[in-house]
Chain A
Amino acid sequence: MTELYDRYAGAVYHLALRITGDRGLAEEISLDSFLQVWRSADRFNARIGSPASWLFTIARSRAIDRLRAAGAAKRTQIDDAPPPTSREQPDTLAELAERRRLVRDALAALSPPQRAALELAYYEGLSHSQIAERLGEPLGTVKTRVRQAMQVLRQLLAPVLSTR
């Protein structure tokens, strides 16, 4: 628990803060996310690794829910999705740093329109239609950009994904 916190609290907090823009909310979301993961700690044992990805998914979902809470109807929650079956989590801080570098490189490899569409979905929780409206682009174009962006990420993150 403490180890997971020490490794990932910074990323979780940053994620929640970037999505909600509110430090108090970001703290609360961080707490809730770690507790949620911790309550299901047994699911990380042995066969199942990569709690980080699951943790971030929970944090993002909670943060986006807060963001949407004002208006939109509740959408799918993936809070309690079981963690992906995967390889061991990184053993060393060096491995963690390497994964971080890989993620940054992958994001940098996206074209600006791809990244813009992805970020609106990722950090603002916007749907395809909402992104299209925000960017003034056709819906089909936005769908393609989001899909392509995700494909680029998956390809470049392949070395650290538990399942290719």
Chain B
Amino acid sequence: MMTHDDMHAALPAFALDALDPAERSEIEQHLAGGCDTCRQELSRWQEVVGLVALADAETPPAALKPLLLQRARAVVAGAPKIPLRLIVPLAAAATAVLVWGAVHDSNLRTELEQQTQVASSLRIDLNVARENLKRAGAQLAAKEQDLAGLRASLAAAEQSLAILQAPGLRMVHLKQTPQAQPAEAHALISTDAHRALFYAFDLPPAAAGKVYELWWITEKEGPVNAGIFAPDSRGLGRIEASVPTDAGVIQAAAVTIEPAGGLPKPTGPMVLLGNLETRS
């Protein structure tokens, strides 16, 4: 028969589960009898025992984590598929609940409340997960939009590069005409690729209902429409234009102000003009 001091001294070994059966059962009865001092002391020793495991670690197989989450979800779903090999330990666990219930009967009394708390914390987890998913979805959409923008920029850059890389590149510098627009422009014309890049600088916004229209002044057909444009907030206008194939040599490039939508032949005031040098 152990004295209370004996039992108190044996608690570390009890926490380790290293006591021989007779001593262990004596202490179990003592704890079940309601000795708070020993219960508290035991919980301290159990914590010491638990911590010892921290000393070493070994990375478990990567597949273990997804498997755990899958099992956890099955439990949440309320219809856990319990593998046979789990039934024995679970039954043992249930027995252990009874043993410990005698020691910690307050836990049994509050079981229902705890289950409610579990459900509630799961709901919170679920909501957090939904929020995260929503945020991830929004981020993905934003990224996709960025990507689409980048693709468009890249395509435009590739087209520009194709013009610049094609043989037969000519450049014309357009200067302000007496109509006194304080602007200038230049055009890079690839006669081989039949494409051109046109950039205008420091152009004021066109008046309401008006646009800027670019013209190629050709040898055979005179002015040929090359496109309309509106300068951006910095006064920069840009067009990628086609170059006529059967209108003869381009002698000049010009910009006029025309009604919105542009016209087939120029009617408005000419604001920029540049002559192409004859190729030697």
Collect the chain B residues with CB atoms within 8 Å of residue A164's CB: 44
Collect the chain A residues with CB atoms within 8 Å of residue B16's CB: 118, 121-122, 146, 150
Check if B54 is an interface residue, CB within 8 A of chain A.
Answer: yes
Known: A53-B47, A75-B24, A146-B13. 15 other contacts (CB 8 A): A2-B65, A40-B114, A52-B51, A57-B49, A65-B92, A75-B17, A75-B21, A80-B93, A81-B46, A82-B107, A84-B43, A103-B54, A128-B13, A146-B12, A146-B18
Binds A, one of B67-75, B139-147, B175-183: B67-75
Check if B152 is an interface residue, CB within 8 A of chain A.
Answer: no
**Interface size, B (range):** 35 or more
Contact partner of B20 (CB less than 8 A), chosen from A1, A129, A147, A157, is: A129
A24-62 interface (Cβ within 8 A of B): 26-28, 30-32, 34-36, 38-43, 45, 50, 52-57, 59-62
Known contacts: A34-B68, A42-B118, A128-B20. The answer to whether A150 contacts B12 by CB under 8 A is yes
Collect the chain B residues with CB atoms within 8 Å of residue A154's CB: 12, 44-45, 48
Closest 5 CB pairs of A and B: A53-B50, A10-B57, A150-B12, A56-B53, A42-B117
**Interface size, A (range):** 35 or more
CB-based contact B20/A163 at 8 Å: no
CB-based contact B18/A121 at 8 Å: yes
Check if A116 is an interface residue, CB within 8 A of chain B.
Answer: no
> Shortest CB–CB separation between residue A79 and chain B, in angstroms?
5
**Can you list 5 residue pairs at the A/B interface with Cβ under 8 Å?**
A12-B53, A99-B51, A99-B54, A100-B55, A153-B51
Give A104's nearest chain B residue, CB to CB. Answer: B55
Contact partner of A163 (CB less than 8 A), chosen from B43, B75, B120, is: B43
> Shortest CB–CB separation between residue B26 and chain A, in angstroms?
12
